[in-house]
Amino acid sequence: MTFVIIVIVAIIVILAIALIVSYNRFVKQRNLIQESWRQIDVELHRRYDLIPNLVETVRAFAAHERHVFEEVARLRTQAVNVQGASPEQRAAAEGELSGALRQMMISVEAYPQVQSNQNFLNLQRELTDTEDRIAAGRRFYNANVGDYNTRVESFPSNLIAGGFKFEKAGYFEVKDESVRSVPQVSFGTIGSVAGEQAPPQMQQGNQSSGQIQPQMPGNEQGGYPQQNQGQFPPAGQSPYSGQPPVGGPPAGAPGPQDGQPPFTGGQ
C-alpha cells in the first residue's frame, strides 16, 4: 500500500513539474514575441520620421508630382494611426505605404537634379537601411511566432495553452507584390559562363532533311561549295558529293576524285 502511494505521489510530482516547465516556456515564448515586435516598431517609427523629410526634399525639385506626395503623406498618417492594431492590420498598412514610397522613387527618376542632391541621397540611404532592419526584424518575429503557434496547437501542450489562455499570435507578413513576384528568367543566358562562347545558332533556310551528311575534304558544309549552291557542280566533281551513297553509285557516274575516299558500299 505504501508503495502505491509513493508511485502516485511521484506521478503527481512529475506532472506538476511538466506543467510548470511547459507554462514557463509559453511565457518565455510570448515575451520573446513581444520583444521582437517592439524592435520592429522602433524601426517603423524611424521610417515615419524619415518620410516627411524625404518628401519635402523631393517636393522642392519635383513640384509636378504633387499627387504622389499627397498619397505618401496620407498613407503615412494611416500607418501611424493603426499602431495599436494587430500585426496583420499593421502589415497591410505598411504594405500600402511601401508601395507609395516606391512609386515616389520611380517618379523622381525623371528629375536628375534630385538624384544629385546630397540631402536626398543621405535620406534615401537611411531609408534603405531602415527597410533592411525592418525586414530582418520581420523574419525574426515570424520565426518566433511560428514556434509559439506550433506549441499552442500541438498535443499535449495545447491543453496547457487552452487552460491558461495562451492564444495564437499573428504574423507580420509582406503584402507587397513586387517582393513576392517571380523573377524573370532569360533562357538565352542559362548555361553561359563568362568568357565562354554561346552555342552556334542554326541559320534559317538550312533545315535538316533527316539524313546524315558526311563532310568531304574541301567541303565543310557537307554539300557543294558556297559559291556553287543551287548550280550544277563544276566539271570533274561528282554530283553525289556530300550525300551518302545508297546501294552503290549509279551507272555512268564518274569515279572518285584524287584525294577522296573510294566508294565503300554505303557504310
What CATH number is associated with residue 10? 1.20.1440.20
Q: What is the pLDDT of residues 128-168, one digit of tens each?
A: 999 999 999 999 999 999 999 999 999 989 999 999 999 99
Residue appearing with cell numbers 533545315: 207
Domain count, the chain: 1
Instruction: Report residue 216: phi and psi, to 5°.
Output: -105, 155
User: Cα-Cα-Cα-Cα dihedral of 60, 62, 64, 68, to 10°?
Assistant: -100
CA dist., res. 29 & res. 159, Å (int): 17
Over residues 231-254, mean pLDDT: 51
More confident residue, 150 or 199: 150
How does residue 237 score in pLDDT terms, banded at 50, 70 and 90? low
Residue 213 in any domain: the answer is: no
Question: Are 100 and 72 a contacting pair, CB within 8 Å?
Answer: yes
Residue 129 in any domain: the answer is: yes
What integer pLDDT is reported at residue 166 of this predicted model? 93
More confident residue, 161 or 249: 161
Residue 7 in any domain: the answer is: yes
Q: What is the pLDDT of residues 68-120, one digit of tens each?
A: 888 999 999 999 998 778 888 899 999 999 999 998 888 888 888 888 888 88
Angle at 74 between CA 37 and CA 119, to 5 degrees: 80
How does residue 254 score in pLDDT terms, banded at 50, 70 and 90? low
Residue 196 in any domain: the answer is: no
- Relative orientation angle of helices 2-59 and 87-107, to the nearest 10 degrees: 20
In the predicted model, is pLDDT for residue 248 greater than 70? no
User: Cα-Cα-Cα-Cα dihedral of 15, 16, 19, 20, to 10°?
Assistant: -150
Residue 153 in any domain: the answer is: yes
CA dist., res. 199 & res. 140, Å (int): 45
More confident residue, 24 or 246: 24
Over residues 230-258, mean pLDDT: 51
How does residue 184 score in pLDDT terms, banded at 50, 70 and 90? very low
How does residue 59 score in pLDDT terms, banded at 50, 70 and 90? confident
Residue 155 in any domain: the answer is: yes
- Mean of the per-residue pLDDT values of the chain: 75
Question: Are 161 and 151 a contacting pair, CB within 8 Å?
Answer: yes
Over residues 48-73, mean pLDDT: 88
Q: CB neighbours (10 Å) of residue 241?
A: 19
Residue 42 in any domain: the answer is: yes
- For the chain, percent of residues with pLDDT exceeding 70: 65
DSSP character for 68? H
Most confident segment among 88-97, 133-142, 175-184, 255-264: 133-142
> The domain containing residue 79 runs over which residues?
1-164
Residue 206 in any domain: the answer is: no
CA dist., res. 65 & res. 247, Å (int): 80
Pick from 146, 143, 198: nearest CA to 168: 146
In the predicted model, is pLDDT for residue 226 greater than 90? no
Phi-psi region of 266 (alpha: psi -120 to 50; beta: other; left: phi over 0): left
In the predicted model, is pLDDT for residue 199 greater than 80? no
In the predicted model, is pLDDT for residue 202 greater than 70? no
Q: Show the DSSP H helices in 155-214 as ranges.
A: 157-163, 177-180
- Distances from the Cα of 230 to the Cαs of 213, 223, 237, 243, 249, in angstroms? 17, 11, 15, 15, 22
